Structure 1
Amino acid sequence: MSRVTLAQWQMLAAVVDHGGFARAAQAIHKSPSTLNHAVHKLEEQLGVTVLEPVGRQVRLTEEGELLLRRARQLLEGADALEDIAGRLREGLETEVVLSVDQIFPADTLACAMEAFSADFPHVRVQLHEAVLNGGIEMLDDGRADLVVSGLAARGYMGDPLVTVTFIAVAHPDHVLHTLGRPLDLRDLEQHRQLVIRDSSSRNARDAGWLKAEQRWTVDHISTSVDMVERNLGFAWLPETRIRRQLDEGRLVPLPLQAEGQRFVPMLLIHRDLDRAGPATRAMAEKLREAIRVSCATSDHELPEL
């Protein structure tokens, strides 16, 4: 059994985080002498000096930095255990926060939400419609329980959910359709491209942008679809969002030499599967079920596992 307690590591972390014993004592409601005794006892038990004086303050030694870095992992693990126990004790969570990239098929999402509502009518749902890194940012910030994204999230495992097909399209009267030949990227760069804005506040990116000088950036796919239908530019759009317009000839695929279609595998990512309550797990399963039903009745593509 370890002789050093979690409480001792917590007090050492507080001293380091708050820049000294006095401030740490105020922050965690302990006396400075209690903190001082705990840290000295920890050093005595380990046989390692973890703090050294610098003027009137203290700082971690090299050994202390290594040990505290590993201790923080223990502290986070202990917090996670307590959180899991609390969720198990309380049973069903009262709210599920779901972030779904806008490229996910809207009808499939609606079916999943409908099925979830039937089984969990009293559980609140916060649905965030993200773009690109927006969902990953919510995951990293701990603001989403479940994320559906076309991007992988570092430090998280994602389950393949569905592959979304993007098609380069324009209004049938767009000048690009009048050229009468296969198009290359140089042709596209001379015309206005409609791009969806990344909803991330920190790691925004311009996926799919061709560096066109006439770029217009909008917040939502529905806005982009509407503008393309009004012949205000061309765009790569999810096939599931424009199937009716394609069938009715209101939008026409551009005759590109290459990259006329792009394929984006979407992932289902839990913030923490071990901590996930029954409602969060059910939401994940409803999304999977909706995809299976949708793929059985349409041309959506199941991911290759």
Structure 2
Amino acid sequence: MEKGNHTATPHISLEQWRCLVAVVDAGGYAQASERLHKSQSSVSYAVQKLESVLNIKAFSIAGRRAVLTPAGEMLYRRAKVLLDEAASLERAAHKASAGWESEIAIAVETLFPIWLLLDCLDQFGAESPQTRIELHETVLGGAPESLQEGRVDLAISPYIPPGFSGEPLPRQARIIPVAHPDHPLHQLKRELTLRDLRKHRHLIVRDSGSQRDKKALTVEVEQRWALSSMATSIGAACRGYGFAWLPEDKIRSELEAGILKPLSLRGGGERYVQMYLIFADRDAAGPGALRLAEILQEQMAASCPDHR
């Protein structure tokens, strides 16, 4: 018996696991051979060798089809994870050797203060002018979906998708109910109730995720406009078309100019939303993405709610 905590040497190669997964995903040995650009006999041999070494039967024959056994189901699930981890490790190694990224994609929840984001991007641009930035402004489920589909390197969102971890940002988004000063709700000249709100049009920003399963900061009303962008929602509120919960950071100039006025709700109407900084894969993140995340954390910690 070997002494110590030495890691056992695997007896199955990644290529053999890849063949097993391909047979399942492609629907057979012939299809798997085409997908892997290998001969059918080599794919079949790889799977048979795997079964022999592990002394396990991965497939049973049902008619003319190879069907996974219960043990094969387990092998298939674990092999998929193994192959994903191996690919992730290769990407991380490639980024570590390649230096700063040529492009960084970031998805940012529309509640996040745009002036702060632009300040951060400007500081990053001064440090790494050769790195291009691709910015996706999202609503609710849009940023988590971008992470899950591998479209971005990092995201700022109030929602952390399953399988990811997020770092809480030091500044919460403050959302307040507002309407144009001439809106009928302001003419009541008293504290408002939810019943009052339900008599008027509510402006919300539509979830940019394809599933649209996240609920906006809203109340249930008969009259509602679901708009595609925060800018449109702000514009509609400024023209008196309805009331809305809007991020205070986004409407400071409108509040100061008197175009929008906070609604006085019984019990208080403001809401606070915690934002998170989420990497697609922190271990595989390049130095540019890590530095941009650091700048975001530093700038948010230094900013004050009444900074602008």
Same-fold call, TM > 0.5?
yes
Partner of 1:268: 277
Partner of 1:154: 162
Q: Distance in 2 between matches of 1:38 and 1:216?
A: 58
Partner of 1:63: 71
Q: What is the deviation of 1:259?
A: 4.4
- Could you tell me which of 92, 96, 108 is aligned with 1:100? 108
- Could you tell me which of 136, 152, 157 is aligned with 1:144? 152
Point out the more displaced range, 198-207 or 140-149: 198-207
Q: Distance in 1 between matches of 2:114 and 2:193?
A: 31
Q: Structure 1: any 5+ residue segments left out of the alignment? A: 301-305
Q: What is the Cα-based RMSD across aligned positions, in Å? A: 1.3
Q: What is the deviation of 1:289?
A: 2.1
Q: What is the deviation of 1:209?
A: 2.7
- Kept in 2: contact 1:112–1:289 (CA 8 A): no
Partner of 1:119: 127
Partner of 1:303: none
Structure 1 residue matching 2:226: 3-state secondary structure: strand
Q: Structure 2: any 5+ residue segments left out of the alignment? A: 1-8
Q: What is the deviation of 1:202?
A: 2.0
Partner of 1:237: 246
Q: Distance in 2 between matches of 1:63 and 1:43?
A: 11
Structure 1 residue matching 2:284: 3-state secondary structure: coil
Matched, 1:45 2:53: yes
Deviations 1:14-61 (A, max 9, x none): 111111111111111111111111111111111110011111110110
Matched, 1:198 2:207: yes
Partner of 1:88: 96
Structure 1 residue matching 2:283: 3-state secondary structure: coil
Matched, 1:299 2:294: no
Amino acid in structure 2 at the alignment position of 1:18: A
Matched, 1:11 2:13: no
Q: What is the deviation of 1:89?
A: 2.2
- Kept in 2: contact 1:150–1:266 (CA 8 A): yes
Deviations 1:122-169 (A, max 9, x none): 111100110000001000101010100122222111111120100001
- Kept in 2: contact 1:182–1:255 (CA 8 A): yes
- Kept in 2: contact 1:182–1:256 (CA 8 A): yes
- C-alpha distance 259-151 of structure 1, shift in aligned 2 (>3 A): farther
Matched, 1:283 2:292: yes
Matched, 1:74 2:82: yes
Structure 1 residue matching 2:25: 3-state secondary structure: helix
Partner of 2:36: 28
Structure 1 residue matching 2:275: 3-state secondary structure: strand
Q: What is the deviation of 1:103?
A: 0.8
- Could you tell me which of 217, 232, 235 is aligned with 2:226? 217
Amino acid in structure 2 at the alignment position of 1:213: E
Q: Distance in 2 between matches of 1:40 and 1:248?
A: 75
Deviations 1:73-126 (A, max 9, x none): 111111111111111222221100011111101110110011011011111110
Q: When the two structures are aligned, how many residues end up with a matched partner?
A: 298
Partner of 2:178: 169
Q: What is the deviation of 1:180?
A: 2.5
Q: Distance in 2 between matches of 1:51 and 1:137?
A: 35
- Kept in 1: contact 2:179–2:243 (CA 8 A): yes
